[in-house]
Structures are given as C-alpha cells and as structure tokens.
A and B are shown apart, each in its own frame.
Chain A
Amino acid sequence: MFELIQKLFGKDSSSSKDIAKERLRLVLVHDRVNVSPQFMEVLKDDMIRVISNYMDINEKDMEVSLTNSKSSVALIANIPVNRMKRGMYNQD
C-alpha cells in the first residue's frame, strides 16, 4: 500500500533511469574493449592450451573475466591448479 502511494506521488525509490545508466555503464565496458562472449571463450581456450603445457588445471572452475576499475579495464583469471607437471618443473 505504501509503495502504491509512493508511486502515485512519483517517488519510486529506485528510479529506472539509474538502473538503465548502471546497466549501460557495465555493458559498455565490455563493448569498448571489443569483447564478445565468443571472444572470451576463445581466449579461455587458448589460455587452457598454453597453461596445460606446464600444469594440470581445473578447467571447469576456471574463471576469466574483464573487470572495470575506474577508468581502466583488467583481465582477471582465476585458474585452480590441480598439479604441476614434473617435466616442466625440473627444467633448468
């Protein structure tokens, strides 16, 4: 009931414009570094291929994403390692 009265007087607490702005901000971070979901998948596959030369990793729990901090974009990868590969470990 209170909500209804608020709406009647145009005082909806979370204005939809702010939601729109925030969603746009986030979506543009990804757009502006030219990253599509497919791009991220390809990047992830390449990373797996390279890293697997050195260690066994848990591909299922691996997370790769782009994050935005103020004006810069960072690539964050969280890759659980199951085991180091001995051959590579002992190399000079």
Chain B
Amino acid sequence: MGEFLKTILTPEYIFTIIRVMTPILFAALACMVFTKGGIDSIGIEGIMLLCAMAGSVGSYFTQSALGGIIVAILAGIIVSFLFGYVTLQLKSVEILAGIAINTLASGLTIFVIYYVAGEKGSTQSLASPTIPNIKIPGLEQIPILGQILSGHNLLTYVAIILTIVLAFLFYRTPLGLRIRSIGENPQAAASVGINVMKYKYITLTIAGTLAGLGGAFMSMGYVSFFSKEMIAGRGFIGMAAEAMGRGNPYGILASSFLFGLADSFAIRLQMLKFPAQLIQTLPYVITIIAISVYSYKKSRVRRII
C-alpha cells in the first residue's frame, strides 16, 4: 500500500495526468464549440482520427513538425466543412452524418497510410518529425511545481492556453455572442439580421482546428506515429467531458482532468492488484451519474406539464 501511495502522491503522477488529459481536452473543446453553435458533436471522434493521420503523414512529407500540424488543422477544417455541407445543405440527419464521418475516418485513414507507409497498421516506419516537449526555463527549477508543469508537449500548453482563449472568445467577444445565439435560438438571431449559415461555418472552422490540434497531438506528441483507431473513444469522452463541464471551458478543463486522472489511476492501481478494468469504468460511470443528476435538477424547474 505504501508502494502504491508512493506512486500516486508524486509530481510525476500529476504530470502524467496532464499529459493524458491533453487529447481529451482538445476533443472536449471541439465538442463545446460544436454545441455552442448548435451542432451535434458525435463526429469529433472521426475528425480527430483523420487529423491524427493527416498530421503524421503531413509531417513526413514536409519533414517538419509545423508542417504536420498545419496539415492536421487543414484536414480538420476540410472534414468539418464536409460535415457542414452534408448536414446544412444536403440536410442529412446530424447524428447519422457524424456516425458516417466516424466510419469514413476508420476506413480512409488505413487506406491512406497503406499507400504512404506501405503498412496497414501504423506509420511507424515513416520518419516523421514529432512535436517536441518544452522545458520552461525558470519554472523548471521550482521543486514539485516545476516537475508538474514543465516539460510537457508543446500542444499541451497550447490546449490549456486555448481553453482560456475560448473562454474569452465565447463570453467576451461579439463573435462568441453571435455563435451562442445561432446555436441556441437561430430564429432570434435571424430576427436581428445575423447570417446564421455564415456563423455555422465559422463554428465548424474553429472546431475543426481544435480537432486538428488534438489529432496532431496524438500522432505527433503522445506517441510518434499514427496507428489505427488510435483515438480510441476519446472523441466520445470529449462529448461526455463537455456535458459534465456544462459547456463552460473551465468546467470542461476540470472534467477533462478528471478523466485523465481516472485513466492514469487505473494503471497505477494495478500495483494494488485492484482490477484495472473496473477502475477503467469509473470515468464513464461518474459521467452518467453526473449527467443524470444535472438533468434531473434542470427538469424539475420545467416539470409543470
């Protein structure tokens, strides 16, 4: 037990949590943007997968990490636009279109890397530059805090900064206000002359960028190559984290952290011969409970008819 506590109550552990939380945070933020714009976010999983592949392949061809990130972001925006076209112009059902994107991503990613890398499972054979970890001078020297906060991947810092940026965007800028209005009540927005379609596409662009960064992190930061199905449900967890965070960027940061915690906790718990799989169910169980409680409270107010 002492051994176990030793591994939990260390700065390295919290460092791991932050690392594990990064892709979830990107996914959750992307879901948040979709939701604010009134769009269903079930397709984020697929978009991130495509972006992870695009990042890895892109960085190989441009032989630079930055090139990879740019390609990943572009992929995110293009796929989001495709999703937008299919749901807004072709009027497909959003949830179905999202599921279709997930299926498409599943197949298309394997397809592409087969041609680029010659393998079907991963791009390990490719020499693609990765995104570096950054040591923050000054911070690094501080005991404990330095160990927790310094040395993370560049995109981890980007994710946290973007959380703050998005909070500012949505709650303090005209653009954010307009996106929130078209998401919640497009008629009200149209009645004051706002072009709903234009803002839907802006929403898609922002979300696509976030998904792109999340995907790039997975294949160029978390690990150094793309492998099939590597998003492994983080897109869906992002949806849950967004729901638990009640659509607020800081709440989402907190719930993403919670998921990261549960994830790394499970691995640690194996030391205690605690069944790892049961612990792995925890984040999902907690989400269901949290959502049920929250929805129940909300419905009480309206429970007249």
Query: A and B, one complex?
Result: no
Which residues of A are in contact with B by a Cβ distance under 8 Å?
Answer: none
Which residues of B are in contact with A by a Cβ distance under 8 Å?
Answer: none
